[in-house]
Structure 1
């Protein structure tokens, strides 16, 4: 009996690793993908094809759809059966597993050594938490396939996407033509008017009414065009990544960094704008939660022909607390008699003491 996991990531039991897409538990999204593919294939052969007049059109439909469906079936089985793990992980697949302890190590992989798999890995290998293994040239973990996509199966993954795009578009055109043809009364073979016997229709090779056939063909067209839209978007995205020599993992990390930087700059700009607008009318303390301390700083004042002398003045330092994604940041605002400066620093770089 198959086990289906409804969690966001189907993680194997503690200390085990996933071998391929068929390792239990199955992911519910994976099951949905298999059901949709099976639905489209069955409806193509046992609904769309059988309702085309027995003529070259029917055999042409079967032939053209088989050119896409049969290779897709082979590629899908092969892609989901391959284990994309590192060779060292495959050689140690039956050995004991090690649980990662963040108190001992900052990252799972340090200096090309995985502390979970306990093996040396290649440069672009990543440890997938869902599969619990290091993947060679890791690209991403695909929940639709319930397996990782990496250097060992990435080209096959792109080929599968291309076949899905072609096949789903073919099914959409086929179902659309038969839906339109079901409203025609002409008996001409060129009208592509579907029939099953004398003015009868069939769904899954079971004789049905015209209305039932039209509803089913409409459903096939809808599922096909949605599948085509999602898949062609994904294929275009991976073509874009291949053009720029990036992996999905690299793209996600770069977007996360850019988003963090943009948020920091936006908050800093808003802080600076609010400070400038309110500095003349009310103190900064009424706008931000802050801590103020007064310190004496010696300043060297150099004259053209005179000796240097030290002058002391008060400097106000305001520290504004703020959270920026994973780590805390503090915006330090320094005011002096001659200049104003805004400094963004890490929380550990600001002295929290009340006295200098």
Structure 2
């Protein structure tokens, strides 16, 4: 089980972020600030630097915080009286968790109010760190927009008033012959240590990178603002979109309005009133939308091959979930596959677990 995003192995995108951020931060102070007027350079440098420090702190917090469900964090064993309809049972974590928690295969744990697994942070985003994540992406948007705006200003000035750019740069980088002209920052014979053409090239390269980056981050911020307004999560949005897509393909309008998770699942185990005997849950059906190889292999598997949470309101959507296709082949986390081999399945059949009066819930992987 991963504790947080600082635990190896590190994701490739996380390493890319570690490299890209210093390049942007250092580039601003090396190639932007020296070519600004002195007063403006100080003001913009302080604003930009403060925002950069804020981003580093927020990114560190989002990566460090363990987003696991509270019952996973405390390793608490709940009594039967504490097991309510607001809890679901994860057969991988072997714990009852909140009904909005989801089990992340990459982190190998249930995440409280799961939003998504962020590869840039190498950590899941959920209830415990979402507020920091939201402020982080907003700060990053300000960071990129700010640098892009200053870069565009300098790039335009390099054509409209090139002397101001070169003279400001000479105050920092100097002249090739060692000294500027008497009483000015103008180098003789254009002998600048940092020539104007190099300024234009660097500003152009930075702007070319910042434009698509800013647009992407802006879209992300707008998306999460909408999610906050709707009281939803990224996971909920993806499931809803996938459900609507399958509903359109099947012409099933009722499915698009279904409240259940989009997954293959079965009814929870029940006991008869007279005998107290356990009834096996009905075998799940597989949607005709599933690939032929997937449907044929389903018949050879004893029980659901895509684990899911029973949502507790009696709706059990029996559909093929494209996002969970991997769980058919690999239903458990990597460490558990090594420990239990191929005999361990994420879905625990009723005969495999002794229950009380309440039905145990099945686990849903994300």
Do both proteins adopt the same fold according to a TM-score greater than 0.5, normalized to the shorter chain? yes
C-alpha distance in 1, partners of 2:225/2:169?
41
Cα deviation code 1:133-183 (max 9, x no counterpart)? 111111111112111000011111110111111111110011111112222
C-alpha distance in 1, partners of 2:41/2:98?
52
Name the structure 1 match of 2:314. Answer: none
1:1-356 mapped onto 2 (5 Å cutoff): 17-53=1-37, 55-92=38-75, 112-185=88-161, 194-197=168-171, 198-199=185-186, 207-265=193-251, 323-325=288-290
C-alpha distance in 2, partners of 1:118/1:32?
35
C-alpha distance in 1, partners of 2:218/2:166?
28
Larger relative contact order (CA 8 Å, sep ≥ 6): 2
Unmatched 5+ stretches in structure 2? 77-85, 172-184, 253-286, 297-317, 320-366
Change (3 A) 1:192 1:250: farther
Unmatched 5+ stretches in structure 1? 1-16, 94-109, 201-205, 267-321, 330-345, 348-356
C-alpha distance in 1, partners of 2:142/2:167?
24
User: Larger helix proportion, structure 1 or 2?
Assistant: 2
User: Larger strand proportion, structure 1 or 2?
Assistant: 1
- What is the number of equivalent residue pairs in this alignment? 236
Change (3 A) 1:117 1:28: same
C-alpha distance in 2, partners of 1:186/1:148?
48
What RMSD over aligned residues (CA atoms) do the two structures have, in Å?
2.9
Matched position secondary structure for 2:159: coil
